[in-house]
Amino acid sequence: MRLLLVEDDQLIGTMVRLNLSQEGYEITWHKNGEDALVALKASRYDLILLDIGLPGRSGIETARAARNYGVGTPILMLTARDDVQSKVNALDAGADDYLTKPFDMAELLARVRAQIRRSQGTLEVPTDREVTLGEARVDLERRALQTAHGEWHELSDKEAALVRFLARNPGRALSRADILEEVWGMDASPTERTVDNFIVRLRRWVEPDPEQPRHILTVRGWGYRYEP
């Protein structure tokens, strides 16, 4: 098991590395987000332990950048602040779990094991099977969507087709007619309102705030545009 540790604090980093190595994990340790992103693009890890308070790019920004790049590796965020907003920010940025400092090594190890257990089976998914849509990860073969908060939702055939169509056309204004043709094809006779209803549902899963969409944008009088 290969773990990427991103922590600028020498003492905490040393402790975490020591304890995890003793458990048999192979640790790569970087002290800032830039180096961590380079490592993530170059190599595959089973888990990322990411400190929020980093010099330069914060842990939140690093997590978001990693997810935008398509990194699906579970992220366990380490935060020095025990307030709700910090936790919400961490989860919204794509973290799977968080741990507040100072933490107990036994708890860290338990959470590392839990994250790795949960992600096993989805990590080896080839890229054409797994797509990222906004904050969500979608396994198209299993027709399952995982939100940024780790909840899974099963997708209908039509929902999966809509996810695939949006994810494969980033930045393009897609008309409702385009979407109807691609997703529903010759099936029955759905109305353009059907498209809107599907989009409303998807937004609840892929947007940090469905009322203020950042990923599935409305193109007035036309349709929708997906922005990763």
Nearer to Ca ion, 64 or 176 (CB): 64
If we measure between CA atoms, which residue out of 20, 18, 24, 26 comes closest to residue 2? 26
Q: To the nearest whole angstrom, how small is the minimum distance from the Cβ of residue 67 to Ca ion?
A: 20
**C-alpha 141: how far from chain center:** 18
Q: To the nearest whole angstrom, how small is the minimum distance from the Cβ of residue 13 to Ca ion?
A: 9
Nearer to Ca ion, 8 or 61 (CB): 8
Nearer to Ca ion, 5 or 66 (CB): 5
Spatial neighbors of 87 by CB under 8 A, at least 6 apart, are 79, 98
Nearer to Ca ion, 77 or 199 (CB): 77
Q: Which amino acid is at 151?
A: E
Distance CA 52, CA 219 (A): 35
Q: To the nearest whole angstrom, how small is the minimum distance from the Cβ of residue 173 to Ca ion?
A: 42
User: DSSP letters of 21-44?
Assistant: HHTT-EEEEESSHHHHHHHHHHS-
Q: To the nearest whole angstrom, how small is the minimum distance from the Cβ of residue 142 to Ca ion?
A: 37
Determine the Cα angle at 95 with ends 26 and 90, to 5°: 125
Nearer to Ca ion, 53 or 150 (CB): 53
Q: To the nearest whole angstrom, how small is the minimum distance from the Cβ of residue 21 to Ca ion?
A: 20
- Name the residue whose CB lies closest to Ca ion: 53
Distance CA 5, CA 43 (A): 13
Distance CA 225, CA 74 (A): 28
Nearer to Ca ion, 53 or 228 (CB): 53
Site of interaction with Ca ion (CB under 5 A): 8-9, 51, 53
Whole-angstrom Cα Rg for the chain: 19
Q: To the nearest whole angstrom, how small is the minimum distance from the Cβ of residue 78 to Ca ion?
A: 8
Angle at which helices 59-68 and 84-92 pack, to 10 degrees?
20
